[in-house]
Amino acid sequence: MDPNKFKNKEMSKRECLELFENDAIFFDTLHAADSVRRDLCGDVVTYILNANINFTNVCTGTCQFCAFKVSKNHPSAFFLTPEQIGQKACDAKMAGAIEVCVQGGLLPEIDTHYQVEILKNIRKQTGPLGGISIHAFSPMEVFAAAENAGLDLKTALTMLKEAGLDSIPGTAAEILVDDVRKTLCPDKISADEWEKVITAAHKTKIPTTCTIMYGHIEENEDRVEHLFRLKKIQEETGGFTEFIPLTFLHENTPLSKRGLVESGSSGLLDLKMYAIPRLLFKEKLPNIQVSWVKLGTKFSQVGLCAGANDFGGTLMEENISRAAGSKYGSSMTRQKIENCIRQIGRVPKLRNTQYKIIDESQQKGSIPVY
């Protein structure tokens, strides 16, 4: 099979599976994907100045891939109040962030009303609307909080939007196949429930990202199912701003401790996860992000030559990957990000959450130093 044929032709599930399985066409696949990326995005590699805020690591979830969650009495347990979260967002803004990515654990006391409090505090403490973009609460968090409040999804999402939510991280997707979820994350929302939250968000005019967390117990067939589901949703709603493949970091996770995995993904699979979705999504979902915190800067540079066009964000703080053994730090300065992009002959451009390029020459005030 010649992967170049997908440059202007739809891919079937069988063909997608072959791209995953047939290593004889590995380099051809990367090459074809890189060419589609060049046609759609040119030489520009976008990035964002953002900060993660994890407001608690205490969680009642039982996800077997997660090294982040702890129980309430654990020595490293933390729980930030809405005021403290607002303060962190304010600090991030002062350091130059234009987006905060807010995620945490699941707890019975975290309901939609509480999430509204968090959003209001961020808005209050970061100034008027437009001060910072709030990218918060995964579909799992939205679903659990709505359930805790006894609200339907549409009402919950409308309340969150009115309180200042701009967009939702498309995490908690993991692998959207219930048979895999039953071992991977038995108490998490089902694949259909994930889709319901996402489509309800898109209908409420809240854009989301989408992700896949791969390289654990799933098979190629599951990866194909997942990608085709994302494609179908995007064709229906157009609400995904970007796709982020998240390579599974295995250290310190229950899956490792239980002996269910020996390692994470291979380098080959990491690159296929940029290339194959690029050939599948094409112009329907043109932004594919490398995760430097999970793969490191060198491998991220390679990912940008295998289909990806976005470097992600400065993050400023990172707890989830670090807990799972990431050795790549938890913050990147914009200078480092830009150098990393220029080093591979590409052109760095600052973007906002919605992928609008930010023209800094038009901006009043000082340019962020971060």
Ligand X SMILES: N[C@@H](Cc1ccc(O)cc1)C(=O)O
Ligand Y SMILES: Nc1c(NC[C@H](O)[C@H](O)[C@H](O)CO)[nH]c(=O)[nH]c1=O
Ligand Z SMILES: C[S@@+](CC[C@H](N)C(=O)[O-])C[C@H]1O[C@@H](n2cnc3c(N)ncnc32)[C@H](O)[C@@H]1O
Q: Binds 41, which of ligand Y, ligand X, ligand SF4, none (CB < 5 to 8 A, cut-off by type)?
A: none
For residues 297 to 326, the per-residue mask of contacts with ligand SF4, x marking binding by CB under 6 A and - elsewhere, is ------------------------------
- The verdict on whether residue 291 carries a ligand-binding annotation is yes
Among 30, 32, 102, 106, binds ligand SF4 (CB under 6 A): 106
Q: Binds 253, which of ligand Z, ligand SF4, ligand X, none (CB < 5 to 8 A, cut-off by type)?
A: ligand Z
> Is 212 in contact with 246 (CB distance < 8 Å)?
yes
For residues 221 to 250, the per-residue mask of contacts with ligand X, x marking binding by CB under 6 A and - elsewhere, is -----------------------x-x----
Q: Which residues pair with 50 in a beta bridge?
A: 99
| Sole window of 59-67, 78-86, 88-96, 113-121 interacting with ligand Z (rule: CB under 6 A) | 59-67
Residue 213 interacts with ligand Z (CB under 6 A): yes or no: yes
Query: What does the block give as tokens for 175?
Result: 């692998």
Among 6, 20, 55, 65, binds ligand Z (CB under 6 A): 65
CA–CA separation, 316 and 2 (whole Å): 42
By beta-carbon distance, which residue lies closest to ligand X? Answer: 169
Burial class (CB in 10 A: 0-12, 13-18, 19+), 6: buried
> Is 120 in contact with 83 (CB distance < 8 Å)?
no
What are all long-range contacts of 224-229, with beta carbons under 8 Å and residues at least 24 apart?
224/13, 224/16, 224/17, 224/20, 225/13, 225/176, 225/177, 226/173, 226/175, 226/176, 226/177, 227/16, 227/276, 227/277, 227/280, 228/13, 228/16, 228/280, 229/176, 229/191, 229/195
Q: Binds 16, which of ligand X, ligand Z, ligand Y, none (CB < 5 to 8 A, cut-off by type)?
A: none
- The verdict on whether residue 101 carries a ligand-binding annotation is no
Nearer to ligand X, 209 or 314 (CB): 209
- The verdict on whether residue 240 carries a ligand-binding annotation is no
Residue type for position 302: V
Query: What does the block give as tokens for 7?
Result: 């440059």
Work out how close the CB of 27 gets to ligand Z at its nearest, in angstroms, rounded to a whole number: 26
Work out how close the CB of 63 gets to ligand Z at its nearest, in angstroms, rounded to a whole number: 6
Residue 248 interacts with ligand Z (CB under 6 A): yes or no: yes
The CA–CA distances, whole Å, from 257 to 72, 252, 305 equal 21, 7, 34
Residue 61 interacts with ligand X (CB under 6 A): yes or no: no
CA–CA separation, 235 and 366 (whole Å): 40
Residues that bind ligand Y (CB under 6 A): 48, 50, 52, 99, 101, 135, 209, 242, 244, 246, 289, 291, 293-294, 312-313, 315, 318, 321, 353
Please state the residue numbers annotated as binding site for (3R)-3-methyl-D-ornithine: 138, 291
